[in-house]
Amino acid sequence: MSQNLNNIAIIGAGAWGTALAQVLAEAGRVVVLYVHEPELADSINKNHQNNLYLPDVSLNKNIRATSVPAEAMQDAGIILLATPTQFVRDVLTKFKPYLPKGVPLVNCAKGIEMSTGKLLSEVVADVVPESPYAVLSGPTFAEEVVRGLPTAVTFATDASEFEAKLWAQTLSGKAFRLYLSCDPVGVEISGAVKNVIAIACGIVDGRRLGQNAKASVMTRGMAEIRRLGLEKGAKVDTFLGLSGLGDLTLTCNSMTSRNYSLGFDLGRGRKLADILAERNTVAEGVTTARAIDAHANELGVEMPISDAVDKILYQDAGIDAVILSLLSRDMKQESR
């Protein structure tokens, strides 16, 4: 690979992609941000602001935006994929002719493909199997990252230790610390399922069911993450790390979380369609709940909280009836 690692291309200019661009530009990297909307790309280049997703942030002037895939990929040494999960396959198909050979593709999204039940590493393997792969995930609110507040995340890859360290060092910022992992599957499952659990926790708080109930949902939610992860070959230690327990703790306890706040509104009695109609951002847990429900059943993995969220979102189940159903389940061993 002859490309300069310091040349970073980011596909996706939502809040998270823009925040990552800011971190890396502030760290002295050369950043090209691919923006789907040409008018937003022009605005970022002229005004150094992303008025659609982070309107109150002044962006580093070294961030260059483009809506042309070939231009975004030119000279890229590392490519960050910050696209909503359900669009990843189409975006990769679109970019495949322009991806530089041997350049690592780092997934920064959190979710499971709804149509197939596949992890994003599996989607990447389907579309661009020749691309080296890594995943970056952890407790991250874009609004804090873009302001330079201290943040730590997990960087997981099956690549060699030398490559993993080199890539991670390149993607580190002044207050953005990466911890290495060799368990991309565990990191991806943790990041995907915690969004569903966050919706459940939001429902609990919106329904004013108390802190005892929310602590129980978080704890049993982690048990579901662990069960699915182990079934898919993940390492158990991953679930206690930043991408597991760390991200779950953050996402289940703050209105800044898109998934928690959506659940909170559901718990207060609002309809899903009305909530989504007011937003220009994606709550990944909404589609992931549907994907998990089907995939977990295929694998024979019991995930009652995730199943309950799916019933509320897609089967028009009443929240009180679903809660009663969860509470009346047969007694279980906690360690299973």
Question: For 41-64, what is each residue's pLDDT tens digit?
Answer: 999 999 999 999 999 999 999 999
In angstroms, rounded to a whole number, what is the distance separating the alpha carbons of residues 313 and 273?
10
Confidence of residue 332 (pLDDT cuts 50, 70, 90): confident
Confidence of residue 229 (pLDDT cuts 50, 70, 90): very high
Determine the average pLDDT of the residues in 15-37.
Answer: 97
| pLDDT at 336 (0 to 100) | 58
Q: What residues have CB less than 8 Å from 300, skipping those under 6 apart?
A: none
| pLDDT at 280 (0 to 100) | 86
Does 335 reside within a domain?
Answer: no
Phi, psi of 267, deg, nearest 5: -65, -30
Of the candidates 130, 158, 182, which is a domain's last residue? Answer: 182
Are residues 202 and 135 both part of a single domain? Answer: no
pLDDT digits 0-9 by tens, 104-138: 999 999 999 999 999 999 999 999 999 999 999 99
| pLDDT at 48 (0 to 100) | 96
| pLDDT at 281 (0 to 100) | 87
Confidence of residue 1 (pLDDT cuts 50, 70, 90): very low
Catalytic pick among 110, 194, 214, 311: 194
pTM, to two decimals? 0.95
Q: What percent of the chain has pLDDT over 90?
A: 94
- Per-residue CA distances from 285 to 49, 52, 85, 113, 313 (Å): 28, 22, 10, 11, 10
Instruction: Give the domain extent around 114.
Output: 7-182
Of the candidates 150, 182, 214, which is a domain's last residue? Answer: 182
The residue type of 109 is A
Determine the average pLDDT of the residues in 87-109.
Answer: 97
Confidence of residue 331 (pLDDT cuts 50, 70, 90): confident
Clarify whether 194 is annotated catalytic: yes
Number of domains, the chain: 2
Are residues 269 and 137 both part of a single domain? Answer: no
Of the candidates 129, 160, 182, which is a domain's last residue? Answer: 182
Q: Where residue 64 sits, what CATH number does that domain have?
A: 3.40.50.720
Are residues 222 and 92 both part of a single domain? Answer: no
Are residues 165 and 192 both part of a single domain? Answer: no
| pLDDT at 3 (0 to 100) | 73
pLDDT digits 0-9 by tens, 248-305: 999 999 999 999 999 999 999 999 999 999 998 889 999 999 999 888 989 999 999 9
